[in-house]
Structure 1
């Protein structure tokens, strides 16, 4: 689709007007009652690694033609640089305490909870899901592990043409899990369970249901008990509606033709009810470090997070055109992506893009949220990934983040 070309608020010609944000300044923490008081932008002189981050973010925002970019980089738990560039809405600057959609980050939370339950001997990863989800087709062939590492063979409803056609027609529709799972054609598998790899959103709908039945706890409460509190996530929450707690980073998209606001389009189709989360960039960075370091897992659980058995799987076939090889260098872990020893997750949703990335050897976390301008490249699903890659290059020149096939 053709996109209208308009100047970005923080384009090169206007960099001087954006200077307070480039320097890391922000509105007072109490400017918004709903804001995260601990998620203030970096202040003071910008030197060394902080300067490298600012330069990389500024260049990436301009080159990628992004509307807003919000970033937090930490190392060993200490702030390297936190800041925001560009507008949330016209006349409203983006801020570091603004919330955005981050649904697939909760997929990593669900995988981590599954590993916690295995650590506690409450389940085995190789238990058949028929124990908790007997009504699901092929439940006697599919294990909890296969849901978490998405090797079940279920088709991805997001890639179903009939489903894809529905989303732009009615972006405010409230989807039910039953409706979504219907689009997976669950009776027809792409391959024998556990023998191949293909990302499928339905796996995580089912994983959310299984976790609720295993623990007898509603998923949103389970996430709060086992992830938000232990990792100190102050501004992360689920919503069963399209609402986002204030302050909000607003999103816009040209996906349907005209450049329009998409902030409150309904995300109910993106993952399991109870895990449709929003958060700010500081919680995104805390998640990267907490999950990436295996803070809530045993050593065995952490090893499984990094490799639940997908390495060596993956073969594109006529039945599975979206399958691709999983190698030691690049593979899907237990609901987290592992590429060249970086762990990351990369949520995107109609004008929103984000990424949390962590390099264990350097204790380095990179968190980015970005929104589209009218001129952003419509062929790139997640431009926040490009920003994170640019940030990593001066910080880890010998092993920068490379998202690769993901």
Structure 2
């Protein structure tokens, strides 16, 4: 039994009705928050959409994509980790079709992969497999990408970095966010479906969700019109002081390093909203698979700084199901929040109130610190907007962040 309900209708977005007085007040408050983020917190441009009960609350673009070129709601951008939720949904659909089990060992498909007889599909998808995250390996960043951000990174190179270091913990015993897990899972999903990953995702996830502007490509171009991103992250690599406000257009940096090939995508704000609603409601899954995908596993995991770069204890600020981030105080927000190459985005859903929020942002030079990292205010902005839309179920914000 799939969780379809009336949410299929929600995807249609009944946007034509005039806003009520309370809706106008919500729009005014959100406008003020985003404009303040641009004026005082280093946000350069933002594309925003929110819905409630299937009705569009607000769709608007702010700031500038390029000098003299305003951002628009039609612009395209990279979706990063949003594709992880597509991959996990594809896996869970295969479970629902009884083609695989979550606790199948991955040696069934990749017998020559190190530790494959100890790792299950569930461990890969829930970030508990223990593989080293190639994305934080210095051989990739800074050595390879900061020398040439236009270079193509192959799957073989991703796996080499992931497997050059030993397993960081016994599989299934800790949590560590590692893109390596989803590179490996991408290979397995192709073997199970007997299709290239991008084709399998399109047929079994993107099309059923009604996505029209989400496409896969490992190449730098973005469909027109592109939201331009700018980054200061290479400044420390070149020993450029913070006060110099080093800044470069990062829009067309090669994205091939970021995830499994076939799941590296561009999108637009409407498809981000459709994703938030469709994935967040479990529209494509059985009830048991939806519960598995959204279980936050709060309390699981522990830091292990001597052996594991990213190990942590999952909590109310950051929980993790199967390819889905969770956050909640009294409510439970379901989301993905990619950040790379001068662009940040969040697509999120609160099932209890059927509220979706999608926002894509770029940064000004003043947003970057001495290590080349943008200010985390973009996450605070999302939380503040969510509190306006769901005052009784606001996101949990870590102390000191906002």
Work out which of the residue numbers 42, 57, 61 in structure 2 matches 1:84. Answer: 61
User: Do the aligned partners of residues 239 and 331 (structure 1) sit closer, same or farther apart at CA in structure 2, a change above 3 Å counting?
Assistant: same
Work out which of the residue numbers 317, 333, 341 in structure 2 matches 1:350. Answer: 341
Contact 2:367 2:375 in 1 (8 A): no
Work out which of the residue numbers 357, 363, 374 in structure 1 matches 2:354. Answer: 363
The answer as to 2:163 corresponding to 1:197 is no
Q: Please list every run of 5 or more consecutive structure 1 residues that lacks an aligned counterpart in the other structure.
A: 1-37
SS at 1:67 equivalent: strand
- My pick for the range that moved more, 268-277 or 375-384, is 375-384
User: Do the aligned partners of residues 261 and 380 (structure 1) sit closer, same or farther apart at CA in structure 2, a change above 3 Å counting?
Assistant: closer
Q: Which residue of 2 aligns with 1:122?
A: 99
Aligned length: 368
Work out which of the residue numbers 184, 204, 208 in structure 1 matches 2:162. Answer: 184
Q: Which residue of 2 aligns with 1:220?
A: 198
Work out which of the residue numbers 270, 278, 281 in structure 2 matches 1:282. Answer: 270
Distance in 1, matches of 2:103 and 2:375, equals 33
Q: Equivalent residues in 2 for 1:217-296 (5 A)? A: 217-257=195-235, 258-296=246-284
Contact 1:42 1:82 in 2 (8 A): no
How far the C-alpha of 1:98 sits from its partner, in A, is 0.3
Q: Which residue of 2 aligns with 1:300?
A: 288
SS at 1:82 equivalent: strand
Distance in 1, matches of 2:180 and 2:398, equals 23
Distance in 2, matches of 1:113 and 1:272, equals 14
CA-based RMSD: 2.3
TM-score by length of 1: 0.86
SS at 1:357 equivalent: strand
Contact 2:218 2:255 in 1 (8 A): no
Q: Which residue of 2 aligns with 1:22?
A: none
Distance in 1, matches of 2:277 and 2:197, equals 22
SS at 2:140 equivalent: helix
Q: Please list every run of 5 or more consecutive structure 2 residues that lacks an aligned counterpart in the other structure.
A: 1-12, 236-245
Distance in 2, matches of 1:329 and 1:301, equals 23
Contact 1:41 1:83 in 2 (8 A): no
Contact 1:71 1:281 in 2 (8 A): yes
SS at 1:47 equivalent: helix
Distance in 2, matches of 1:240 and 1:197, equals 28
Q: Which residue of 2 aligns with 1:63?
A: 40
The answer as to 2:147 corresponding to 1:169 is yes
Once the two structures are superposed, residues 320-351 of structure 1 have per-residue CA deviations (whole angstroms, 9 ceiling, x without a partner) of 24211124674111011011111110111211
Distance in 1, matches of 2:351 and 2:230, equals 34
Once the two structures are superposed, residues 139-162 of structure 1 have per-residue CA deviations (whole angstroms, 9 ceiling, x without a partner) of 100000011001001011122222
How far the C-alpha of 1:382 sits from its partner, in A, is 5.4
Distance in 2, matches of 1:240 and 1:354, equals 19
Distance in 1, matches of 2:197 and 2:29, equals 40
Q: Equivalent residues in 2 for 1:323-402 (5 A)? A: 323-327=311-315, 330-340=318-328, 341-378=332-369, 379-380=373-374, 383-402=377-396
